[in-house]
Amino acid sequence: METTQGGERSASPEELLGEAVEEEEKQKQESLEEMLARHRDEVQKLQNKEISLKKEAAKGSKAEQKAKKKQVEDEISRLTAQLKSKHSQELASLGYQTADDVVKAISGVTISGKNEPAKLSKGVRRREKRAQQEAAREQRIQEEQSQIVSDRMVENEKLEKKLEPLGLTINEIKPDGHCLYRAVEDQLSLHSHDAAGYGYVELRRMVARYMKDNTRDLLPFFLAENKMELDSHCTDVERFEKYCEEVESTAAWGGQLEVGALTHCLKKHIIIYSGSFPDVEMGKEYKCESGSSVENPSILLSYHRHAYGLGEHYNSVVPTGMR
Protein backbone atom coordinates (compact mmCIF):
# COMPACT_ATOMS: atom_id res chain seq x y z
CA MET A 1 0.00 0.00 0.00
CA GLU A 2 1.26 3.49 -0.82
CA THR A 3 0.20 6.82 0.70
CA THR A 4 0.34 10.25 -0.93
CA GLN A 5 1.57 13.37 0.85
CA GLY A 6 -2.03 14.33 1.66
CA GLY A 7 -2.56 11.03 3.43
CA GLU A 8 -4.71 9.53 0.68
CA ARG A 9 -4.16 5.91 -0.27
CA SER A 10 -2.87 5.19 -3.79
CA ALA A 11 -2.97 1.87 -5.58
CA SER A 12 0.12 -0.27 -5.53
CA PRO A 13 1.66 -1.64 -8.77
CA GLU A 14 0.25 -5.06 -7.87
CA GLU A 15 -3.25 -3.62 -7.45
CA LEU A 16 -3.00 -1.71 -10.73
CA LEU A 17 -1.93 -4.91 -12.46
CA GLY A 18 -4.86 -6.73 -10.90
CA GLU A 19 -7.29 -4.06 -12.12
CA ALA A 20 -5.86 -4.33 -15.64
CA VAL A 21 -6.26 -8.11 -15.60
CA GLU A 22 -9.84 -7.74 -14.29
CA GLU A 23 -10.69 -5.28 -17.08
CA GLU A 24 -9.23 -7.66 -19.65
CA GLU A 25 -11.34 -10.49 -18.25
CA LYS A 26 -14.47 -8.32 -18.53
CA GLN A 27 -13.68 -7.71 -22.18
CA LYS A 28 -13.27 -11.45 -22.73
CA GLN A 29 -16.72 -12.04 -21.22
CA GLU A 30 -18.50 -10.28 -24.09
CA SER A 31 -21.41 -12.53 -25.06
CA LEU A 32 -22.07 -13.78 -28.58
CA GLU A 33 -25.14 -11.55 -28.95
CA GLU A 34 -23.14 -8.52 -27.77
CA MET A 35 -20.37 -9.39 -30.19
CA LEU A 36 -22.75 -9.78 -33.15
CA ALA A 37 -24.43 -6.48 -32.24
CA ARG A 38 -21.03 -4.80 -32.17
CA HIS A 39 -20.14 -6.44 -35.50
CA ARG A 40 -23.33 -5.06 -37.07
CA ASP A 41 -22.52 -1.63 -35.69
CA GLU A 42 -19.00 -1.78 -37.11
CA VAL A 43 -20.33 -2.84 -40.52
CA GLN A 44 -22.82 0.04 -40.41
CA LYS A 45 -20.05 2.50 -39.53
CA LEU A 46 -17.98 1.26 -42.46
CA GLN A 47 -20.95 1.71 -44.79
CA ASN A 48 -21.47 5.26 -43.48
CA LYS A 49 -17.77 5.96 -44.01
CA GLU A 50 -18.09 4.71 -47.60
CA ILE A 51 -21.03 7.05 -48.24
CA SER A 52 -19.08 9.99 -46.81
CA LEU A 53 -16.01 9.21 -48.90
CA LYS A 54 -18.10 8.82 -52.05
CA LYS A 55 -19.77 12.16 -51.54
CA GLU A 56 -16.38 13.81 -51.06
CA ALA A 57 -15.06 12.07 -54.18
CA ALA A 58 -17.92 13.51 -56.26
CA LYS A 59 -16.34 16.97 -56.10
CA GLY A 60 -13.95 18.45 -58.66
CA SER A 61 -13.41 17.78 -62.35
CA LYS A 62 -14.40 14.50 -64.01
CA ALA A 63 -10.78 13.32 -64.04
CA GLU A 64 -10.40 14.18 -60.35
CA GLN A 65 -13.66 12.44 -59.49
CA LYS A 66 -12.61 9.29 -61.32
CA ALA A 67 -9.27 9.18 -59.51
CA LYS A 68 -10.90 9.83 -56.14
CA LYS A 69 -13.54 7.14 -56.70
CA LYS A 70 -10.82 4.59 -57.46
CA GLN A 71 -9.04 5.56 -54.24
CA VAL A 72 -12.29 5.19 -52.31
CA GLU A 73 -12.94 1.72 -53.76
CA ASP A 74 -9.41 0.59 -52.87
CA GLU A 75 -9.70 1.99 -49.36
CA ILE A 76 -13.10 0.42 -48.70
CA SER A 77 -11.84 -2.89 -50.10
CA ARG A 78 -8.92 -2.83 -47.68
CA LEU A 79 -11.05 -1.85 -44.69
CA THR A 80 -13.70 -4.46 -45.55
CA ALA A 81 -11.11 -7.24 -45.70
CA GLN A 82 -9.64 -6.12 -42.37
CA LEU A 83 -13.07 -6.02 -40.72
CA LYS A 84 -14.02 -9.44 -42.07
CA SER A 85 -10.80 -10.95 -40.72
CA LYS A 86 -11.27 -9.25 -37.35
CA HIS A 87 -14.85 -10.50 -36.99
CA SER A 88 -13.88 -14.07 -37.92
CA GLN A 89 -11.08 -14.09 -35.36
CA GLU A 90 -13.33 -12.72 -32.64
CA LEU A 91 -16.04 -15.32 -33.29
CA ALA A 92 -13.38 -18.05 -33.29
CA SER A 93 -12.15 -16.80 -29.90
CA LEU A 94 -15.58 -17.68 -28.49
CA GLY A 95 -15.46 -21.11 -30.09
CA TYR A 96 -17.80 -20.45 -33.01
CA GLN A 97 -16.22 -21.67 -36.21
CA THR A 98 -19.32 -22.06 -38.38
CA ALA A 99 -22.66 -20.32 -38.94
CA ASP A 100 -24.41 -23.39 -37.51
CA ASP A 101 -22.52 -22.94 -34.22
CA VAL A 102 -23.68 -19.33 -34.09
CA VAL A 103 -27.31 -20.33 -34.76
CA LYS A 104 -27.30 -22.88 -31.94
CA ALA A 105 -25.70 -20.49 -29.50
CA ILE A 106 -28.18 -17.67 -30.17
CA SER A 107 -31.18 -19.99 -29.94
CA GLY A 108 -30.03 -21.51 -26.66
CA VAL A 109 -29.17 -24.99 -27.95
CA THR A 110 -26.07 -26.44 -26.32
CA ILE A 111 -23.23 -27.25 -28.69
CA SER A 112 -21.88 -30.75 -28.06
CA GLY A 113 -20.33 -33.62 -29.96
CA LYS A 114 -23.14 -36.03 -29.04
CA ASN A 115 -25.77 -37.08 -31.55
CA GLU A 116 -28.56 -37.34 -29.00
CA PRO A 117 -31.92 -36.18 -30.34
CA ALA A 118 -33.19 -33.05 -28.59
CA LYS A 119 -36.83 -32.16 -28.07
CA LEU A 120 -37.19 -28.45 -28.53
CA SER A 121 -40.05 -26.34 -27.26
CA LYS A 122 -41.93 -23.99 -29.57
CA GLY A 123 -40.16 -21.04 -27.94
CA VAL A 124 -36.74 -22.53 -28.60
CA ARG A 125 -37.70 -23.39 -32.18
CA ARG A 126 -38.83 -19.79 -32.75
CA ARG A 127 -35.58 -18.48 -31.28
CA GLU A 128 -33.61 -20.92 -33.39
CA LYS A 129 -35.43 -19.76 -36.53
CA ARG A 130 -34.67 -16.12 -35.73
CA ALA A 131 -31.10 -17.08 -34.93
CA GLN A 132 -30.78 -18.87 -38.26
CA GLN A 133 -31.97 -15.77 -40.07
CA GLU A 134 -29.56 -13.57 -38.12
CA ALA A 135 -26.63 -15.94 -38.59
CA ALA A 136 -27.43 -16.26 -42.29
CA ARG A 137 -27.37 -12.49 -42.56
CA GLU A 138 -24.01 -12.28 -40.78
CA GLN A 139 -22.61 -15.07 -42.96
CA ARG A 140 -23.85 -13.42 -46.15
CA ILE A 141 -22.15 -10.18 -45.16
CA GLN A 142 -18.83 -11.91 -44.62
CA GLU A 143 -18.99 -14.19 -47.65
CA GLU A 144 -20.03 -11.48 -50.07
CA GLN A 145 -17.55 -8.86 -48.90
CA SER A 146 -14.71 -10.59 -50.72
CA GLN A 147 -16.59 -10.43 -54.05
CA ILE A 148 -18.72 -7.36 -53.51
CA VAL A 149 -16.05 -4.75 -54.19
CA SER A 150 -15.20 -5.91 -57.72
CA ASP A 151 -18.88 -6.42 -58.58
CA ARG A 152 -19.68 -3.01 -57.17
CA MET A 153 -16.98 -1.34 -59.26
CA VAL A 154 -18.27 -2.94 -62.48
CA GLU A 155 -21.85 -2.02 -61.64
CA ASN A 156 -20.95 1.56 -60.75
CA GLU A 157 -18.93 2.05 -63.93
CA LYS A 158 -21.82 0.85 -66.11
CA LEU A 159 -24.26 3.08 -64.26
CA GLU A 160 -22.00 6.12 -64.53
CA LYS A 161 -21.64 5.60 -68.29
CA LYS A 162 -25.42 5.47 -68.54
CA LEU A 163 -26.12 8.55 -66.41
CA GLU A 164 -23.30 10.85 -67.52
CA PRO A 165 -24.67 11.57 -71.05
CA LEU A 166 -28.01 12.44 -69.40
CA GLY A 167 -26.38 14.99 -67.11
CA LEU A 168 -27.27 12.89 -64.06
CA THR A 169 -25.36 11.54 -61.09
CA ILE A 170 -25.96 9.52 -57.92
CA ASN A 171 -26.89 11.04 -54.57
CA GLU A 172 -25.96 8.43 -51.96
CA ILE A 173 -28.71 7.31 -49.57
CA LYS A 174 -28.16 5.69 -46.18
CA PRO A 175 -28.36 1.86 -46.39
CA ASP A 176 -30.67 1.23 -43.42
CA GLY A 177 -33.58 -0.71 -44.95
CA HIS A 178 -35.47 2.53 -45.63
CA CYS A 179 -33.36 3.36 -48.70
CA LEU A 180 -36.23 3.19 -51.23
CA TYR A 181 -38.36 5.58 -49.20
CA ARG A 182 -35.45 7.85 -48.31
CA ALA A 183 -34.48 8.03 -52.00
CA VAL A 184 -38.05 9.01 -52.94
CA GLU A 185 -38.06 11.54 -50.10
CA ASP A 186 -34.85 13.02 -51.52
CA GLN A 187 -36.42 13.23 -54.98
CA LEU A 188 -39.50 15.00 -53.65
CA SER A 189 -37.32 17.48 -51.77
CA LEU A 190 -35.83 18.61 -55.10
CA HIS A 191 -39.17 20.29 -55.78
CA SER A 192 -40.38 22.44 -52.91
CA HIS A 193 -44.08 21.94 -53.63
CA ASP A 194 -43.62 18.16 -53.19
CA ALA A 195 -41.56 18.21 -50.01
CA ALA A 196 -44.10 18.95 -47.26
CA GLY A 197 -45.35 15.95 -45.28
CA TYR A 198 -43.57 13.25 -47.24
CA GLY A 199 -40.78 11.90 -45.06
CA TYR A 200 -39.83 8.25 -45.38
CA VAL A 201 -42.04 7.31 -42.41
CA GLU A 202 -45.12 8.86 -44.01
CA LEU A 203 -44.25 7.27 -47.36
CA ARG A 204 -44.19 3.85 -45.68
CA ARG A 205 -47.63 4.49 -44.17
CA MET A 206 -48.99 5.58 -47.54
CA VAL A 207 -47.64 2.48 -49.28
CA ALA A 208 -48.96 0.09 -46.60
CA ARG A 209 -52.39 1.73 -46.70
CA TYR A 210 -52.54 1.57 -50.50
CA MET A 211 -51.50 -2.09 -50.53
CA LYS A 212 -54.14 -3.01 -47.93
CA ASP A 213 -56.82 -1.12 -49.86
CA ASN A 214 -55.87 -2.99 -53.05
CA THR A 215 -55.32 -6.45 -51.62
CA ARG A 216 -57.36 -8.18 -54.33
CA ASP A 217 -55.21 -6.71 -57.12
CA LEU A 218 -51.82 -7.06 -55.41
CA LEU A 219 -52.19 -10.44 -53.67
CA PRO A 220 -51.28 -12.54 -56.78
CA PHE A 221 -48.06 -10.55 -57.25
CA PHE A 222 -47.24 -10.86 -53.57
CA LEU A 223 -47.68 -14.64 -53.67
CA ALA A 224 -45.63 -14.91 -56.86
CA GLU A 225 -42.70 -13.12 -55.22
CA ASN A 226 -42.81 -15.42 -52.15
CA LYS A 227 -42.35 -12.50 -49.81
CA MET A 228 -43.03 -14.61 -46.71
CA GLU A 229 -42.62 -18.25 -45.75
CA LEU A 230 -45.73 -20.40 -46.00
CA ASP A 231 -47.67 -20.42 -42.76
CA SER A 232 -50.34 -23.12 -42.50
CA HIS A 233 -52.08 -21.15 -39.76
CA CYS A 234 -52.66 -18.08 -41.93
CA THR A 235 -54.66 -17.51 -45.08
CA ASP A 236 -53.03 -15.79 -48.05
CA VAL A 237 -54.89 -12.59 -47.22
CA GLU A 238 -53.73 -12.71 -43.59
CA ARG A 239 -50.14 -13.22 -44.73
CA PHE A 240 -50.44 -10.23 -47.04
CA GLU A 241 -51.89 -8.08 -44.26
CA LYS A 242 -48.99 -9.06 -42.00
CA TYR A 243 -46.58 -8.07 -44.73
CA CYS A 244 -48.30 -4.70 -45.10
CA GLU A 245 -47.86 -4.15 -41.36
CA GLU A 246 -44.13 -4.86 -41.76
CA VAL A 247 -43.95 -2.36 -44.61
CA GLU A 248 -45.45 0.30 -42.35
CA SER A 249 -43.69 -0.34 -39.06
CA THR A 250 -40.29 -1.97 -39.79
CA ALA A 251 -37.22 -1.39 -41.97
CA ALA A 252 -38.38 -4.03 -44.45
CA TRP A 253 -36.66 -3.49 -47.79
CA GLY A 254 -38.91 -2.20 -50.58
CA GLY A 255 -39.26 -3.96 -53.91
CA GLN A 256 -41.41 -3.86 -57.03
CA LEU A 257 -44.72 -4.01 -55.14
CA GLU A 258 -43.76 -1.02 -53.04
CA VAL A 259 -42.44 0.98 -56.02
CA GLY A 260 -45.72 0.34 -57.83
CA ALA A 261 -47.66 1.51 -54.80
CA LEU A 262 -45.56 4.68 -54.61
CA THR A 263 -46.35 5.58 -58.23
CA HIS A 264 -50.09 5.53 -57.49
CA CYS A 265 -49.88 7.15 -54.05
CA LEU A 266 -47.83 10.05 -55.39
CA LYS A 267 -49.22 9.94 -58.94
CA LYS A 268 -45.65 9.98 -60.19
CA HIS A 269 -43.74 8.48 -63.09
CA ILE A 270 -40.74 6.59 -61.65
CA ILE A 271 -37.59 5.60 -63.55
CA ILE A 272 -35.12 3.19 -61.94
CA TYR A 273 -31.65 3.13 -63.50
CA SER A 274 -29.34 0.17 -62.99
CA GLY A 275 -25.86 -0.92 -63.93
CA SER A 276 -26.79 -4.60 -63.59
CA PHE A 277 -30.26 -4.80 -65.13
CA PRO A 278 -32.34 -2.98 -67.77
CA ASP A 279 -33.85 0.29 -66.59
CA VAL A 280 -37.40 0.09 -65.26
CA GLU A 281 -40.25 2.57 -65.71
CA MET A 282 -43.38 2.48 -63.59
CA GLY A 283 -46.42 4.76 -63.49
CA LYS A 284 -46.17 5.73 -67.16
CA GLU A 285 -49.73 7.05 -66.97
CA TYR A 286 -48.39 9.87 -64.80
CA LYS A 287 -45.53 10.74 -67.15
CA CYS A 288 -45.58 14.32 -68.43
CA GLU A 289 -45.97 14.19 -72.22
CA SER A 290 -46.11 17.94 -72.87
CA GLY A 291 -42.36 18.24 -73.36
CA SER A 292 -41.87 19.95 -70.00
CA SER A 293 -41.53 18.01 -66.76
CA VAL A 294 -41.79 21.04 -64.47
CA GLU A 295 -45.43 20.50 -63.52
CA ASN A 296 -45.06 16.85 -62.50
CA PRO A 297 -41.38 15.81 -62.62
CA SER A 298 -40.49 12.13 -62.71
CA ILE A 299 -38.86 10.43 -59.76
CA LEU A 300 -35.39 9.17 -60.69
CA LEU A 301 -33.86 6.34 -58.68
CA SER A 302 -30.95 3.95 -59.09
CA TYR A 303 -30.96 0.29 -58.13
CA HIS A 304 -27.69 -1.26 -56.95
CA ARG A 305 -27.42 -5.02 -56.69
CA HIS A 306 -23.89 -4.91 -55.29
CA ALA A 307 -23.85 -1.70 -53.27
CA TYR A 308 -23.20 -3.22 -49.85
CA GLY A 309 -22.73 -6.59 -48.17
CA LEU A 310 -26.39 -7.45 -48.55
CA GLY A 311 -26.78 -5.84 -51.96
CA GLU A 312 -30.12 -4.46 -53.19
CA HIS A 313 -29.91 -0.77 -52.47
CA TYR A 314 -31.64 2.32 -53.86
CA ASN A 315 -30.10 5.76 -54.37
CA SER A 316 -31.52 9.03 -55.64
CA VAL A 317 -30.52 10.24 -59.14
CA VAL A 318 -30.09 14.00 -59.46
CA PRO A 319 -28.79 16.47 -62.05
CA THR A 320 -25.00 16.70 -61.97
CA GLY A 321 -23.82 19.40 -59.58
CA MET A 322 -27.14 19.72 -57.76
CA ARG A 323 -26.11 17.90 -54.58
Q: Could you give the count of Cα atoms lying within 13 Å of 14 in the half-sphere of its Cβ? A: 2
Q: What is the residue type of 323?
A: R
Q: How far lies 135's CA from each of 69, 94, 101, 107, 205, in Å?
A: 32, 15, 9, 11, 30
Burial class (CB in 10 A: 0-12, 13-18, 19+), 260: buried
User: Which residue in the list 39, 87, 178, 179 is annotated as catalytic?
Assistant: 179
Reported for 233-241, long-range contacts at CB under 8 A and 24+ positions apart, including other chains, are: 240/211, 240/215, 241/212, 241/215
Active site residue 313: yes
User: Which residue in the list 100, 176, 213, 231 is annotated as catalytic?
Assistant: 176
Q: For residue 173, count other CB atoms closer than 10 A to its CB.
A: 25
Active site residue 101: no
Q: What is the arrangement of strands in the sheet containing 299-304, beginning at the earlier edge strand?
A: 168-171, 313-319, 299-304, 270-274, 280-282
User: Which residue in the list 39, 87, 178, 313 is annotated as catalytic?
Assistant: 313
Contact 298, 268 (CB under 8 A): yes
Contact 56, 68 (CB under 8 A): yes
Which residues partner with 303 through β-bridges? 274, 314
Active site residue 176: yes
Q: Catalytic residue positions?
A: 176, 179, 313
